[in-house]
Amino acid sequence: MGGSGVPTLVRVSPDLPVRCHVVTGKGGTGKTTVAAALALALASEGHTVLLVECEGRQGIAQLFDTPPLPYEERRVAVTRGGGEVRALAIDVEEALLEYLEMFYNLRRAGRALRRMGAVDFATTIAPGLRDVLITGKVKEAVTRRVDGRRVYDAVVVDAPPTGRITRFLNVTSEMAGLARSGPIKTQSDGVMAVIRSPQTAVHLVTLLEDMPVQETADAIAELTAAGLPVGSVLVNMATEPELPAAELVRAAEGRLTGADLAPGLTAAGLPEDAELADALAAEVVEHAQRWAAQDALRARVHSLGRPTVELPLLPGPMDLGCLFELAGRLEDHLGAEVAA
Amino acid sequence: MTAAADGATPRPARPARQAPPVDLAALIADPDTRIIVCCGSGGVGKTTTSAALALAAAEAGRRVVVLTIDPARRLAQSLGLEELDNEPREVDVPGIPGRLDAMMLDMKRTFDDIVVAHSTPERAEQILANPFYQTLSSSFAGTQEYMAMEKLGQLRTAERWDLIVVDTPPSRSALDFLDAPNRMSRFLDGTMIRVLTAPARAGGRAGFKFASAGFLIFTRIISKVLGGQLLRDISAFVSALDTMFGGFRERATATYELLRRPGTWFVVVATPEPDALREASYFVDRLSAEGMPLAGLVLNRTHPPASTRLSATRAEAAAEAAAEADDGSPAALVAGALRVHADRMTLAAREQRLADRFTSAHPEVGMRAVPAAAGDVHDLEGLRVMAEALTGPDGDTPTGVPRTRVLPARRA
């Protein structure tokens, strides 16, 4: 996977590693989880990674089991070799006030506006403004240097869902309806330069289900048309078949009955029970059919022509241990690519 | 939990509460049922549930219209919804006693229709061409919910159907559907809009001289941030729309009231996942606070095993025994089958645990578990299977597990 010239998880261009990872996906595909796992994977070997939340859901805090994140960068996990993941939940109002202070020296007036509900109003009537503020913050973190050294080796963004991702990233066109000059315009041009550069990659999280795969295909087409760099497709919650391939095909065609299983069941020490054998056969048929449907979608995902990683469906509730396990899978993928 | 974990105090053996059954078959057949709203967080299968309920009602002889919001492409095709004309069309279902119509909401078009219906042609043209209106009608958070409500009101007033089944927009929070119309009318009627458009209302730019110094600072900052053009668009939009404002609020209130009238029922849909059930829980609380009637919870995409006679643990053990006795393909097949069953039992146990948790918080809420289909539901046949799972008799399942549950209740 990931020959030269093909955009991959870590490098879109041969010389420049991707430092800004934007993770999107249809709602319910687990993009927050995947973004968090990706941040952990990138933070291994002593790297410092920022994980950014844009939609005020506090999903990151829940995943890392920490109190709700304030609008400041907080360490949420440490990794091998002294690496760490910091998280930031962007508060759009605060970000706007920051701008007003930075460019117009209007901290106090800004506060007053906020009390009047004006800040909320401005971000409501101009949804593009929200996006400009969020992507601006992301760009700032990606390019931030202290004493000449980069603060973050990588920034991972838990971005809006696939349906909105192109508009979210396409800051320049969003700005068309807003201020056409002045600091915010200048700022948005700077943001666009980073987002379109090979140091950014937009990764798409999908499940092996009809709708998410369709939306992924649509999003790739849209992103490409807008000149935005598409990275990998991350297939989440993938399952492995439990049966040998030949049996799987047979079961998927419904040609498996209790009679095929009954002798083996008694041999395995279970009492003779034709009804149970039939029930197990029915479950196997369903399993095989589900798997066949997934496999067809898997082929569709591969036909999208992007590097693809599969993350397994983990049993039980999602916790930090699970995140590290998923991160491990992503790390293997990263390692394989670096070696390639 | 803690006490039991220390072993200091033994936990009393109290059987978990049982969720009461939901009789959706009776609900859809009852001539007094006029509106069914399917709600829940995004991705839980609201659209499919709505379509399946509507189909079942038409098969029970009712004249039904289903208002879907954002159906999957193939499902839309199976309902004959390729054409987006924002009007209900009859679905061709051979041999049903009732009638099934379906439509897909086009929110921009619905909004445009309201504008046209409530203003003079010149005014309407002005509004429709206004860039701010275009943003508002196509991307304002909440417009879709508001327009879904609006469309529901229209369908109800038309009196062409005796049952309307409504799917709700795919928002993250199920509550958005109830909150959006108010939020939108509050916004259009809010202080900020009034302040910003004061000059226009007072008669053009001359109005500025009445404005206070504070207001001037405010507009200056806002126009720096948003651009002066946008402010002018808003101003023009609001003055053009001024006559409609009262209308907007009244309509939102009227439709909201419709949801509280007898004959309206809510069906909350959730998948057996913590997030979806948490949303369902909020929604149930909200409905009861608003005095809106809840029919019950549809626990969608469950994975009941085909037999509950063999536990996960025993199946795992037998799978190992089968694998050890390895004598070729049949052993691998049997071991695989046993692992499939063990996984299925474990998954079902998790789903049942989540359902139980919901029931202990809402013991009065009826529940109906609907097993996941092997693939996507995208044709009438798939909808029929789902309709049967939604409306079939409670105890009539192959394993005898009532349809309120994923696994049988533990014997006390």
Q: Say how far apart CA A290 and CA A251 lie, in whole Å.
A: 11
Q: Say how far apart CA A135 and CA A130 lie, in whole Å.
A: 9
Residue B340's domain spans which residues? 312-346
- The answer for A 180-219 residues in CB contact with B (under 8 A) is 180, 182, 184, 209-211, 214
**Which pLDDT band, with edges at 50, 70 and 90, does B367 fall under?**
very high
Residue B339 within any structural domain of the chain? yes
Q: Say how far apart CA A265 and CA B26 lie, in whole Å.
A: 43
Lowest mean pLDDT among A204-218, B21-35, B367-381: B367-381
- The answer for A 1-20 residues in CB contact with B (under 8 A) is none
Token digits of residue B146: 């508001």
Q: Say how far apart CA A246 and CA B375 lie, in whole Å.
A: 21
Query: Mean of the per-residue pLDDT values for chain A?
Result: 85
**Which pLDDT band, with edges at 50, 70 and 90, does B205 fall under?**
very low
Between chains, do A247 and B306 touch, taking CB under 8 Å as contact?
no
The ipTM (two decimal places) reads: 0.81
Per-residue burial over A9-23, b = 16 or more CB atoms within 10 Å of its CB, e = otherwise: bbbbeeeebbbbbbb
Q: Are residues B146 and B184 in the same domain?
A: yes
Q: CB A101: neighbour CB atoms within 10 A? A: 15
Q: Kindly state the average pLDDT of the residues A21-50.
A: 93
Query: Crossing angle for the helix pair A92-104 and B213-226, nearest 10 degrees?
Result: 100
Residue B215 within any structural domain of the chain? no
Residue B382 within any structural domain of the chain? yes
Instruction: Pick A208 or A340 by higher pLDDT.
Output: A208
Taking the Cβ of residue A113 and every Cβ of chain B, the question of whether any pair is shorter than 8 Å is answered with yes
Most confident of A114-118, A130-134, B139-143, B245-249: A130-134
Do the beta carbons of residue A311 and residue A238 sit within 8 Å? Answer: yes
Residue B244 within any structural domain of the chain? no
Between chains, do A280 and B341 touch, taking CB under 8 Å as contact?
yes
Residue pLDDT, tens place only, A65-95: 999 998 999 999 999 889 999 999 998 888 8
**Which pLDDT band, with edges at 50, 70 and 90, does B195 fall under?**
low
Q: Kindly state the average pLDDT of the residues B321-345.
A: 86
Residue B203 pLDDT > 50: no
Q: Are residues B104 and B74 in the same domain?
A: yes
Helix, strand, or coil (residue B91): coil
Q: Where are the alpha helices (DSSP H) in B20-88?
A: 24-29, 46-59, 73-78
What's the structural domain count of chain B? 2
- Pick the residue from chain A with its C-alpha nearest to B344: A283
**Which pLDDT band, with edges at 50, 70 and 90, does B397 fall under?**
confident
Per-residue burial over A119-152, b = 16 or more CB atoms within 10 Å of its CB, e = otherwise: bbbbbbbbbbbbbbbbbbbbbbbbbeeeeeeebb
Q: CB B81: neighbour CB atoms within 10 A? A: 21
Q: Of the candidates A116, A126, A287, which has its C-beta nearest B226's C-beta?
A: A126
Q: Of the candidates B187, B307, B321, which has its C-beta nearest A268's C-beta?
A: B321
**Which pLDDT band, with edges at 50, 70 and 90, does B357 fall under?**
very high
Residue B216 within any structural domain of the chain? no
Q: Say how far apart CA B7 and CA B301 lie, in whole Å.
A: 37
DSSP A269-319: TPPP-HHHHHHHHHHHHHHHHHHHHHHHHHHHHHTT-S-EEEEEPPSS---
Token digits of residue A57: 């859901």
Q: Say how far apart CA A281 and CA A262 lie, in whole Å.
A: 10
Q: Which of B42, B167, B59, B369 is nearest to A27 (CA)?
A: B42
Interface mutation target, options A125, A186, A298, A318, chain B, most CBs of B under 10 Å = A125
Q: Are residues B105 and B131 in the same domain?
A: yes
Q: What is the pLDDT of residue B247?
A: 65
> Could you tell me how many residues make up chain B?
412
Q: Which of A18, A56, A10, A60 is nearest to A160 (CA)?
A: A56
Do the beta carbons of residue A157 and residue A21 sit within 8 Å? Answer: yes
Global pTM value:
0.83
Q: Are residues B115 and B150 in the same domain?
A: yes
Q: Say how far apart CA B364 and CA B18 lie, in whole Å.
A: 9
Residue B92 within any structural domain of the chain? yes
Size of interface A-B (CB pairs under 8 A): 176
**Which pLDDT band, with edges at 50, 70 and 90, does A34 fall under?**
very high
What would you report as the CA-atom Rg of chain A, rounded to the nearest whole angstrom? 24
**CATH code, residues A20-239+313-334:** 3.40.50.300
Residue A338 pLDDT > 60: no
Phi, psi of B30 (to 5 degrees): -65, 120
Q: Of the candidates B187, B217, B336, which has its C-beta nearest A247's C-beta?
A: B336
Q: Are residues B316 and B299 in the same domain?
A: no
Q: Are residues B272 and B339 in the same domain?
A: no
Q: What is the pLDDT of residue A233?
A: 96
What CATH number has the domain bearing residue B259? 3.40.50.300
Per-residue burial over A197-234, b = 16 or more CB atoms within 10 Å of its CB, e = otherwise: bbbbbbbbbbbbbbbbbbbbbebbebbeeeebbbbbbb
- The answer for A 238-277 residues in CB contact with B (under 8 A) is 242-244, 246-247, 260-261, 263-265, 267-270, 273, 275-276
Per-residue burial over B126-139, b = 16 or more CB atoms within 10 Å of its CB, e = otherwise: bbbebebbbbbbee
- Tell me, what amino acid is at B297? L
**Which pLDDT band, with edges at 50, 70 and 90, does B130 fall under?**
confident
Q: Say how far apart CA B363 and CA B374 lie, in whole Å.
A: 31
The residue behind tokens 């897909």 is B104
Interface mutation target, options A103, A158, A242, chain B, most CBs of B under 10 Å = A242
Between chains, do B224 and A104 touch, taking CB under 8 Å as contact?
yes
Do the beta carbons of residue B50 and residue B280 sit within 8 Å? Answer: no
Do the beta carbons of residue A110 and residue A97 sit within 8 Å? Answer: yes
Do the beta carbons of residue A54 and residue A158 sit within 8 Å? Answer: yes
**How many Cα atoms occupy the beta-carbon half-sphere of A118 within 13 Å?**
25
Q: Which residues are registered as beta bridge partners of B102?
A: B66, B89
Q: Kindly state the average pLDDT of the residues B214-236.
A: 70
Residue B330 within any structural domain of the chain? yes
Q: How far is A179 from chain B (nearest CA, A)?
A: 4
Q: How far is B336 from chain A (nearest CA, A)?
A: 5
Domain borders along chain A are 20-239+313-334, 242-302
Q: Are residues B182 and B324 in the same domain?
A: no
